[in-house]
């Protein structure tokens, strides 16, 4: 989510209006809800929304619904891990990663889906995340100039930094963080917290909105 909720909702409304001329109805309302409001914190509500995302994907073949389903499943795995239910944590973790990878395989021609996998993987707790996958994804994305604008490239570097930390490659992580800090000191500071950054307007317009509209 974005800190300034009213500003975000206004931008979302205006962006959706811009697409309305070509698309009569949103094909992924549950995924749109996740973009605007995030996942619920309560376990029961999280489980319900996650299942709704899977039903939405099955009905509409929307890549973002599938990615968010995988993300919701991984959030459930993290919940079970924190409550010491290791068997269910493992089951949900395997399912979440399976569908996250499935999304990239099914939509291999769409680099935005790979961006989303890296975005999810990079900010998962190190105990359940897959730093090697994120390193591979970010390397591949950084080697395709022109696909992502400068703002998204910065985010990709931030994901790579998180992956380097999780892979315990501290020297490389420190070098990359220093480069990030030269460009944006506040971003470097927030990266140290380990929390997933909220979607910014650039990600909304260039990644989320095209995916939720089935582009």
Task: Show pLDDT as tens, one digit a residue, over the chain (215 residues).
Answer: 444 554 455 455 445 544 544 544 457 899 999 988 889 999 999 999 999 999 999 999 999 999 999 999 999 999 999 999 999 999 999 999 999 999 999 999 999 999 999 999 998 888 777 999 999 999 999 998 789 999 999 999 999 999 999 999 999 999 999 999 888 877 777 787 777 788 888 999 999 989 988 76
Residues 49 and 144 in one domain: no
Whether residue 214 lies inside any domain: the answer is no
Domain shared by 3 and 86, yes or no: yes
**Within this chain, do residues 135 and 84 fall inside the same structural domain, yes or no?**
no
Tell me whether residue 17 is in a domain. Answer: no
Domain identity same for 121 and 102: no
Q: For residue 98, give its domain range.
A: 1-7+27-109
Question: Cα–Cα distances in Å, from 97 out to 11, 71, 102, 207?
Answer: 32, 8, 8, 20
Give the H or E element holding residue 174: helix 170-183
> Using an 8 Å Cβ cutoff, are 12 and 204 in contact?
yes
Give a yes or no: residue 75 inside a domain: yes
Same domain? For 2 and 101 the reply is: yes
Considering the domain architecture, whether residues 105 and 116 belong to the same structural domain is answered as: no
Q: Residue 26 has what pLDDT?
A: 55
Residue 181 falls inside a structural domain: yes
In a domain, 190, yes or no: yes
Residues near 202 by beta carbon (within 8 Å), at least 6 away in sequence:
149, 151, 152
Single out the residue in 109, 125, 142 at which a domain terminates.
Answer: 109
Are 78 and 39 in the same domain? yes
Does residue 21 form part of some domain? no
> Is residue 3 located within the same domain as residue 94?
yes
Phi-psi region of 146 (alpha: psi -120 to 50; beta: other; left: phi over 0): left
How much is the pLDDT for 11?
53
Domain identity same for 103 and 125:
no
Predicted pLDDT at 1: 43
Q: Are residues 86 and 119 in the same domain?
A: no
Give the predicted TM-score (pTM) of the model. 0.86
Residues 78 and 176 grouped into a single domain: no
> What is the tally of structural domains in the chain?
2
């Amino acid at each position: 989510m974005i800190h300034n909720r009213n500003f975000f909702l206004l931008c979302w409304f205006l962006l959706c209006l811009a697409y309305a001329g070509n698309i009569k109805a949103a094909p992924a309302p549950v995924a749109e809800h996740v973009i605007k409001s995030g996942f619920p914190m309560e376990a029961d509500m999280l489980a319900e929304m996650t299942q709704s995302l899977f039903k939405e994907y099955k009905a509409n073949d929307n890549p973002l619904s599938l990615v968010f389903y995988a993300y919701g499943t991984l959030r459930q795995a993290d919940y079970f891990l924190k409550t010491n239910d290791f068997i269910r944590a493992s089951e949900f973790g395997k399912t979440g990663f399976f569908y996250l990878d499935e999304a990239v395989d099914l939509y291999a021609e769409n680099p935005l889906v790979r961006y989303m996998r890296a975005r999810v993987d990079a900010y998962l707790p190190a105990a359940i995340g897959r730093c090697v996958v994120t390193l591979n994804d970010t390397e591949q994305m950084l080697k395709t100039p022109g696909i992502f604008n400068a703002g998204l490239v910065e985010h990709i570097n931030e994901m790579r930094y998180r992956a380097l930390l999780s892979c315990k490659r501290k020297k490389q992580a420190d070098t990359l963080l220093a480069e990030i800090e030269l460009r944006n000191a506040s971003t470097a500071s927030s990266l140290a917290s380990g929390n997933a950054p909220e979607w910014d307007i650039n990600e909304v317009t260039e990644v989320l909105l095209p995916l939720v509209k089935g582009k």
